[in-house]
């Protein structure tokens, strides 16, 4: 049985994540108190007909949420194989989402009506849970469609079977990604943006990728990068890591970073490694 516990910050997209899991065949329950998770997991095991289950538990449970730490320990002792998916976003993004939707933050009373204070309180409260997460997704710059695609690519198969590598390109001008395990900066290479016929193309176009890789420096970076990744992956797998996020950044996230993210993706795909790819800023103007 694939048993996923979804948690994280209020406003980070947990409901959308559950919708995505439901779309790929998971039986989903939202806002379950931690004290009931163990009993529900036992019920699913005894039933035997539910092979894919996802539940959401978060600070909406009030004082009950504090019991999540003990519940996770109990599940481990009972040899119930679960995966913890943690969703997060920047403070400013979370505050903006609550202001736009006019929804009440679960900690609004404790924060004396301040959304900013509520978000900060929740961030401190969730530090221990985030540290135990198997998967972390930062939704700050993800559209609902991108989040759905990310969830589907992560959990269409049994996430406990092997390491999943997620390759991401991004632009530093829009802010670095906070979920990366390995982050590489390729702004040291010539920028196609300053070539008129390439400016409006992306690293997905052959003309751009050829331009980026046309120097000895680029080839040297490629070879050393792939060698490093090939060396590290078995170490992460041995450690039992479920997801590895490799991000590559350039200035705008359209040319150099896309080229290298695609190189890494194709290299790993050819080695039969479970790998996905996402170009975060490729469509930004």
pLDDT number for residue 164: 84
Alpha helices in the chain (DSSP H): 14-23, 34-47, 68-77, 91-101, 115-125, 127-131, 144-155, 206-212, 216-239, 256-270
- 91-124 pLDDT, tens digit per residue, is 999 999 998 988 889 999 999 989 999 999 999 9
In this prediction, residue 152 has a pLDDT band, given cuts at 50, 70 and 90, of confident
Output the pLDDT for position 234. Answer: 87
Domains and CATH numbers, the chain: 2-161 (3.40.50.300), 165-279 (no CATH)
pLDDT at 159 over 50: no
Residue-averaged pLDDT of the chain: 90
Mean pLDDT across the stretch 37-56? 86
- Residue where the block lists tokens 């894919």: 52
pLDDT at position 158:
46
Give 157's pLDDT tier (boundaries 50, 70, 90).
low
If you search the block for the tokens 């609902």, which residue do you land on? 144
> In this prediction, what percent of the chain has a pLDDT beyond 70?
97
Q: Is the pLDDT of residue 240 over 90?
A: no
Residue 229 pLDDT exceeds 60: yes
Is the model's pLDDT at 285 over the cut of 90? no
Cα 153 to Cα 99, 159, 241, 284: the distances in Å are 31, 10, 17, 23
Cα maximum dimension of the chain: 64
Q: pLDDT tens across 140-151, in order?
A: 999 887 888 788
Q: How confident is the model at residue 64 (pLDDT cuts 50, 70, 90)?
A: low
Indicate whether 161 pLDDT > 60: no
Q: Rounded distance, CA 29 to CA 52, Å?
A: 12
User: Over 90: is that where the pLDDT of 24 sits?
Assistant: no
User: Would strands 274-279 and 52-56 be described as parallel, antiparallel, or unpaired?
Assistant: unpaired
- Residue written as tokens 């993004």? 93
């Amino acid at each position: 049985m694939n048993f996923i516990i979804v948690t994280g910050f209020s406003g980070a997209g947990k409901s959308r994540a559950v919708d995505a899991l439901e779309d790929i065949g998971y039986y989903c329950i939202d806002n379950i108190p931690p004290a009931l998770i163990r009993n529900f997991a036992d019920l699913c095991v005894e039933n035997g007909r539910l092979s894919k289950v996802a539940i959401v538990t978060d600070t909406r449970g009030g004082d009950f949420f504090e019991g999540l730490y003990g519940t996770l320990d109990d599940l481990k002792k009972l040899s119930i194989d679960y995966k913890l998916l943690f969703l997060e976003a920047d403070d400013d993004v979370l505050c903006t989402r609550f202001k736009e939707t006019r929804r009440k933050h679960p900690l609004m009373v404790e924060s004396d009506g301040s959304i900013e204070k509520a978000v900060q309180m929740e961030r401190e409260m969730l530090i221990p849970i985030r540290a135990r997460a198997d998967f972390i997704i930062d939704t700050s710059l993800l559209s609902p469609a991108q989040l759905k695609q990310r969830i589907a690519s992560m959990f269409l198969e049994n996430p406990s079977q092997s390491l999943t590598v997620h390759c991401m390109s991004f632009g530093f001008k829009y802010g670095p990604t906070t979920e990366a395990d390995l982050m590489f900066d390729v702004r040291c290479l010539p920028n196609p943006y300053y070539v008129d016929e390439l400016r409006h193309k992306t690293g997905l176009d052959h003309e751009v990728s050829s331009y980026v890789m046309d120097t000895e420096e680029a080839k040297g970076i490629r070879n050393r990068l792939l060698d490093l990744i090939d060396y590290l992956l078995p170490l992460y797998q041995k450690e039992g890591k479920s997801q590895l996020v490799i991000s590559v950044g350039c200035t705008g996230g359209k040319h150099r970073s896309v080229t290298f993210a695609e190189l890494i993706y194709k290299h790993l795909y050819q080695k039969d490694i479970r790998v996905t790819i996402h170009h975060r800023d490729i469509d930004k103007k």
